[in-house]
């Protein structure tokens, strides 16, 4: 690869190494090693001029014309920088001291080069680009890009403000508060980094068409969902990730179980006996096959004993655990799986019809196996039930709604990056466990498609920023007759198993 100077009378390309790159060279200058987060890069026989240039680039942005004194050394430096592009930050400045924007590589596969805008073809900010403030500067990122653009000066922000709608490159450059040449350079850097998109060639006079707006792989992705996907996984960013304990000693982990809001008002729940379950429980296959989707519940109420058995078998604390090196009990063991045993999830019940339990809102205490009443206005309880019925797409009011909330700090005190994704996976594990055990009790379930986090926070008495609803289900008695919308079915793999499972479950429960 040949590195071109791409200078202009007003714009200055500058070069530096990522801040996490350390340059180490032997005294003879025969070998230079660049240590980075992605491993070591060894450059053999680089020459002293190249070693000196790399050392200067490790200190901050420099002009390559100034980094090498003898033009004869420039080809060797160009070859090394072409090989190390994933470690090189490309900056553009109005002079040799003041970068305006910098393009930072995020992965070992990152390869950047300015892309000159095509005359007459409109440019626009990508709909996937996200701007946020970080440590006194603005960062521009996109899930589609393997680079981050750092905006150092107001001229860069002015450029972005003008590009929220399609403009020709000439019109965009004319609107910027800097000379035309560096303005065009800035557009080239933003296009090369994937933050600006260029329109496809089209008919003169027609509206500009951008590839990201018609690409079948992208049109169904909301930008925030695609960003969440890429930032909660590895491969397309350089953010801290994993068990990093980001809060250090400033904050301690929240208690294993949430303390009761009031003492002395709890409702003790039924506890099933192991021998009884082993004598009456159906096989796992019957529970899996016997759970059928429904849009209508029967008229009968759920009983408090059924709720007690369901919660005991799915969500109770079996034991409290201390992690090695951690003071006190920081986690627990429960029937459903939870990544890193964080068990950040809480269960709340909005009860409308339950034999042996008054209507209202309750919090489940998994350690004491009891329900703690939550003081909620009747209007809020009714709104919970109404919203839950609509979210579950039910034709009849549910006797009981179960809401799953997450105490986020149980996860975020330890994990950076995948935290919220882990919460959602744990929520799925808890809901699946609830579905299966409910099927063995011959109770009907219906998942909640979504939740209003403001309504649930108000009714449950939580702060949505620290504990918010992340899932839920409706619980009731099976309806007589078909409880689901019948659709035309084409048999594929043993479609009769659910009926066999339902019959087995009925027989076992009536023994």
Question: In 2-119, at which residue ranges do the beta strands (DSSP E only) sit?
Answer: 12-17, 22-25, 31-36, 39-44, 88-93, 99-105
- Mean pLDDT along residues 374-378: 89
Looking at residue 451, what is its pLDDT? 87
Question: Is pLDDT of 3 > 70?
Answer: no
- Exposed, middle or buried, 222 (CB in 10 Å: 0-12/13-18/19+)? exposed
How far, in Å, CA of 88 to CA of 76, rounded?
16
- Mean pLDDT along residues 139-156: 94
Long-range interactions of 493-498: CB distance < 8 A, separation 24+: 497/285, 497/289, 498/289, 498/290, 498/292
How far, in Å, CA of 283 to CA of 505, rounded?
9
Split at pLDDT 50, 70, 90, the class of 120 is confident
Instruction: Check the CA dihedral 83-88-90-95 and report its sign.
Output: negative
% of the chain with per-residue pLDDT over 70: 92
How far, in Å, CA of 198 to CA of 165, rounded?
12
- Mean pLDDT along residues 245-269: 80
How far, in Å, CA of 79 to CA of 2, rounded?
7
How far, in Å, CA of 73 to CA of 64, rounded?
11
- pLDDT single digits (tens) 169-187: 999 888 877 665 688 899 9
Strands 242-243 and 267-268: unpaired
Looking at residue 395, what is its pLDDT? 84
Question: Is pLDDT of 28 > 50?
Answer: yes
Helices 48-59 + 74-83 axis angle, to 10: 60
Split at pLDDT 50, 70, 90, the class of 368 is very high
Question: Is pLDDT of 486 > 80?
Answer: no
Domains assigned to the chain = 12-231 (no CATH), 291-480 (3.40.109.10)
Residue written as token pair 């979504």:
450
Tokens of 156: 């860069």
Looking at residue 327, what is its pLDDT? 56
Question: Taking a C-beta distance cutoff of 8 angstroms, is the pair 226, 127 a contact?
Answer: no
Question: Is pLDDT of 449 > 60?
Answer: yes
Split at pLDDT 50, 70, 90, the class of 7 is very low
Looking at residue 325, what is its pLDDT? 59
Split at pLDDT 50, 70, 90, the class of 333 is very high
How far, in Å, CA of 437 to CA of 430, rounded?
11
Split at pLDDT 50, 70, 90, the class of 365 is very high
Q: In what order do the strands lie in the sheet with 370-374?
A: 267-268, 370-374, 360-365, 345-351, 400-407, 467-476, 444-447
How far, in Å, CA of 469 to CA of 227, rounded?
22
- Mean pLDDT along residues 226-235: 94
Residue written as token pair 């053999």:
44
Q: Give the 3-state secondary structure of residue 184.
A: helix
- Mean pLDDT along residues 277-289: 90
- Mean pLDDT along residues 314-337: 82
How far, in Å, CA of 94 to CA of 358, rounded?
71
Instruction: Check the CA dihedral 106-57-100-85 and report its sign.
Output: negative
Looking at residue 110, what is its pLDDT? 96
Looking at residue 264, what is its pLDDT? 64
Looking at residue 156, what is its pLDDT? 87
Q: Give the 3-state secondary structure of residue 33.
A: strand
Helices 304-315 + 419-440 axis angle, to 10: 130
Q: Decide which of 402 and 508 is more confident.
A: 402
How far, in Å, CA of 241 to CA of 230, rounded?
12
- Mean pLDDT along residues 117-146: 94
Split at pLDDT 50, 70, 90, the class of 9 is very low
Looking at residue 8, what is its pLDDT? 42
DSSP state of 443: -
Average pLDDT, the chain: 88
DSSP of 328-368:
S--EEE-SS--GGG---EEEEEEESSEETS-SEEEEEETTT
Split at pLDDT 50, 70, 90, the class of 188 is very high
Question: Taking a C-beta distance cutoff of 8 angstroms, is the pair 100, 152 a contact?
Answer: yes
Looking at residue 5, what is its pLDDT? 40
Question: Taking a C-beta distance cutoff of 8 angstroms, is the pair 58, 52 a contact?
Answer: no
Question: Taking a C-beta distance cutoff of 8 angstroms, is the pair 345, 363 a contact?
Answer: no
Instruction: Check the CA dihedral 360-363-364-369 and report its sign.
Output: negative
Question: Is pLDDT of 14 > 80?
Answer: yes
Strands 354-355 and 302-303: parallel
- Mean pLDDT along residues 323-348: 84
- Mean pLDDT along residues 381-390: 88
Q: Which of 313, 384, 376 is nearest to 352 (CA)?
A: 384
Q: C-alpha dihedral over 175, 178, 181, 183, to 10 degrees?
A: -50
Looking at residue 244, what is its pLDDT? 87
Looking at residue 360, what is its pLDDT? 92
Which of 51-60, 140-149, 227-236, 244-253 has the least mean pLDDT? 244-253
Split at pLDDT 50, 70, 90, the class of 78 is very high
């Amino acid at each position: 690869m040949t590195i071109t100077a791409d200078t202009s009378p007003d714009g200055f390309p500058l070069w530096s190494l990522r801040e996490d790159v350390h340059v180490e060279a032997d005294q003879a200058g025969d070998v230079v090693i660049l240590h980075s987060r992605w491993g070591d890069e060894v450059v053999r026989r680089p020459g002293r001029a190249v070693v000196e240039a790399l050392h200067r680039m490790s200190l901050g942005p420099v002009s390559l014309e100034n980094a090498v004194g003898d033009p004869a050394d420039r080809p060797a430096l160009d070859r090394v920088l072409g090989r190390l592009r994933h470690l090189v930050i490309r900056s553009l400045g109005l002079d040799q001291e003041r970068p305006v924007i910098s393009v930072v590589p995020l992965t070992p596969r990152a390869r950047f080069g300015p892309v000159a805008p095509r005359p007459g073809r409109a440019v626009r900010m990508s709909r996937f680009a996200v701007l946020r403030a970080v440590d006194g500067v603005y960062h521009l990122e996109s899930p589609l890009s393997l680079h981050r653009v750092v905006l150092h000066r107001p001229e860069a922000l002015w450029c972005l403000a003008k590009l929220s709608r399609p403009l020709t490159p000439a019109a965009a450059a004319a609107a910027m508060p800097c000379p035309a040449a560096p303005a065009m350079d800035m557009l080239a850097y933003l296009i090369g980094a994937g933050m600006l998109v260029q329109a496809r060639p089209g008919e003169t006079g027609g509206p500009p068409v951008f590839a990201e707006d018609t690409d079948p792989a992208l049109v169904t992705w909301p930008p925030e969902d695609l960003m969440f996907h890429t930032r909660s996984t590895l491969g397309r960013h350089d953010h801290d990730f994993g068990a990093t304990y980001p809060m250090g000693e400033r904050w301690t982990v929240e208690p294993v179980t949430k303390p009761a809001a009031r003492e002395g008002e709890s409702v003790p729940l039924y506890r099933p006996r192991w021998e009884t379950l082993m004598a009456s429980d159906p096989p796992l296959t019957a529970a899996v096959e016997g759970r059928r989707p429904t849009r209508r519940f029967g008229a009968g109420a759920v009983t408090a004993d059924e709720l007690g058995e369901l919660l005991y078998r799915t969500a109770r604390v079996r034991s409290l655990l201390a992690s090695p090196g951690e003071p006190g009990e920081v986690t627990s063991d429960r029937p459903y799986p939870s990544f890193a045993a964080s068990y950040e999830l809480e269960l709340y019940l909005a009860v409308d019809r339950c034999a042996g339990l008054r209507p209202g809102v309750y919090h489940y205490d998994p350690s004491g196996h009891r329900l703690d009443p939550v003081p909620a206005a009747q209007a809020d309880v009714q709104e919970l039930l109404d919203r839950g019925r609509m979210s579950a797409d039910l034709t009849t009011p549910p006797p009981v709604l179960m809401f799953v909330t997450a105490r986020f700090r149980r996860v975020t005190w330890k994990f950076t990056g995948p935290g919220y994704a882990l919460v959602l996976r744990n929520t799925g594990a808890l809901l699946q466990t609830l579905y299966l055990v409910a099927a063995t009790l011959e109770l009907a379930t219906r998942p909640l498609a979504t939740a209003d986090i403001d309504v649930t926070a108000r009714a449950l008495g939580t702060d949505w920023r620290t504990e918010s609803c992340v899932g839920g289900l409706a619980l009731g008695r099976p309806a007589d007759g078909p409880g689901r919308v019948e659709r035309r079915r084409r048999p594929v793999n043993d479609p009769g198993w659910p009926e066999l499972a339902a019959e087995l479950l009925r027989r076992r429960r009536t023994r």
